[in-house]
């Protein structure tokens, strides 16, 4: 049903089992990968605005960061990405394969999100920095220590590294925030009384109320704007709703992956959900770095409307009738929706149909045996 010889169809391209050429390994744990033959063959896709420009992506093995690395490589960027110290080599393999198949080049650097001066070496020489790395789970024994503090420390460390390069050395920072920084689980009404926009901020979530993730995202973005103002850094923040979409690795894990895995394996979650497709989220990051007028702004990325549990079940059952898909239960629809028109108008990032998001993610999870 799915190829077993190392070739996995990933919707937007095919991974082939190329041999990996390690171009240099230095004491600072940097690995560089590129595919000069493929780069020359596809040279028409590499424009002067991207070729030779270094982009740093933090947290390269993550769901969003992996897709972002892929899209940057497709455009011919030199990409440097950070991974946790001691990351298993098998988790790096999908990134290396992308570098072999796409026009850009890839450098992998170890960095501890919580260490002092964690990103100083990684930021050096980067023209644009994408800060994606941040914990994403909902429950923890000590939510303040597990969710809020790492988000704040990672953001502070990243901006300290950018500031240390000197004003203007890094042209722009793009931060992965969240709609959690716009509204909480029990939010106040939107400012315009109709839909939540980039003008709204989450003022209701508390750690004590079980919303540490929401608190961490809100405080981290607030800190980012404070640091940007203090150091004269050009900042853009991306605010996705709950992210789903195709995975790029058999080692994909986390809240987003677990959510759809549950549906595919016979569990279901009651509720009504607003999603964002990981491909649109990554594209929003790329466009936020490239569009001059995006500087200093926030951008929501979200599907046009919420999706009920019953609709999710119906979509999955139609495309995967052999799987034990249970009937989902509808939850209370959100009183107010979100407005993603700014991303569409200024960044040319449009929402992906929810059916496409769900089906493409399910196919890749099944292809990878997840």
pLDDT at position 21, please? 30
Of 104 and 27, more confident: 104
8 Å CB contact between 259 and 244: yes
Comparing 8-22, 89-103, 185-199, 254-268, the range with the smallest average pLDDT is: 8-22
For the question of residue 219 being annotated catalytic, the response is no
Per-residue pLDDT reduced to its tens digit, 174-224: 999 999 999 998 889 999 999 999 999 999 999 988 899 899 999 999 999
d(C-alpha 17, C-alpha 98), whole Å: 10
- 302 pLDDT higher than 90: yes
What does each C-alpha distance from 5 to 18, 33, 184, 246, 346 come to in angstroms? 12, 22, 45, 20, 42
Question: Domain residue spans in the chain?
Answer: 54-368
pLDDT-above-70 percentage for the chain:
84
List the beta strands (DSSP E) in the chain.
8-9, 14-15, 25-26, 30-34, 54-57, 78-83, 105-110, 128-131, 172-176, 195-196, 235-240, 242-244, 272-273, 275-277, 298-301, 307-308, 337-338
Q: Pick one of 3.40.50.720, 3.40.50.1580, 3.40.50.80, 3.40.710.10 as the CATH number of 54-368.
A: 3.40.50.720
pLDDT at position 32, please? 55
**In whole numbers, what is the pLDDT of the chain averaged over residues?**
85
The DSSP-derived string for 14-28 is: EE--PPPP---EETT
- 101 pLDDT higher than 50: yes
Given the residues 217, 219, 229, 326, select the one marked as catalytic. 217
Of 252 and 140, more confident: 252
Nearest to 238, CA basis, from 342, 154, 126? 342
Nearest to 235, CA basis, from 329, 298, 319? 298
136 pLDDT band (50/70/90 cuts)? Answer: low
């Amino acid at each position: 049903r799915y190829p077993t010889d190392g070739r996995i169809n990933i919707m937007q391209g095919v991974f082939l089992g190329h041999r990996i050429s390690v171009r240099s390994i230095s004491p600072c744990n940097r690995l560089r990968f590129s595919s000069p033959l493929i780069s020359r063959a596809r040279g028409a896709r590499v424009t002067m605005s991207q070729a030779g420009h270094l982009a740093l992506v933090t947290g390269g093995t993550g769901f969003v960061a992996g897709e972002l690395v892929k899209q940057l490589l497709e455009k011919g960027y030199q990409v440097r990405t950070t991974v946790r110290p001691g990351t298993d080599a098998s988790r790096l393999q999908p990134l290396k394969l992308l570098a072999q198949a796409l026009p850009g080049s890839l450098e992998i650097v170890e960095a501890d999100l919580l260490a002092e001066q964690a990103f100083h070496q990684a930021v050096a020489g980067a023209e644009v920095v994408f800060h994606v790395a941040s914990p994403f789970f909902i429950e923890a024994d000590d939510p303040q220590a597990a969710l809020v503090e790492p988000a704040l420390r990672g953001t502070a460390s990243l901006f300290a590294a950018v500031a240390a390069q000197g004003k203007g050395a890094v042209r722009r920072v793009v931060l992965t925030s969240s709609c959690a920084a716009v509204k909480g689980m029990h939010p106040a009404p939107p400012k315009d009384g109709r839909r939540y926009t980039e003008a709204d901020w989450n003022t209701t979530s508390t750690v004590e109320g079980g919303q540490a993730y929401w608190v961490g995202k809100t405080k981290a973005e607030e800190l980012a704007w404070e640091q940007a103002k203090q150091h004269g850094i050009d900042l853009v923040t991306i605010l996705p709703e709950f992210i789903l979409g195709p995975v790029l690795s058999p080692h994909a894990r986390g809240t987003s992956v677990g959510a759809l895995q549950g549906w595919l394996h016979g569990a279901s979650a009651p509720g009504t959900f607003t999603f964002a497709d990981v491909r649109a989220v990554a594209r929003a990051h790329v466009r936020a770095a490239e569009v001059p007028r995006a500087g200093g702004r926030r951008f929501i990325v979200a599907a046009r409307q919420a999706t009920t549990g019953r609709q999710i079940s119906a979509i999955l059952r139609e495309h995967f009738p052999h799987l034990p898909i249970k009937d989902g239960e509808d939850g209370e629809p959100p009183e107010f929706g979100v407005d993603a028109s700014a991303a569409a108008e200024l960044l040319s990032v449009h929402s992906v149909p929810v059916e496409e998001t769900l089906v493409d993610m399910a196919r890749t999870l099944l292809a990878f045996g997840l």
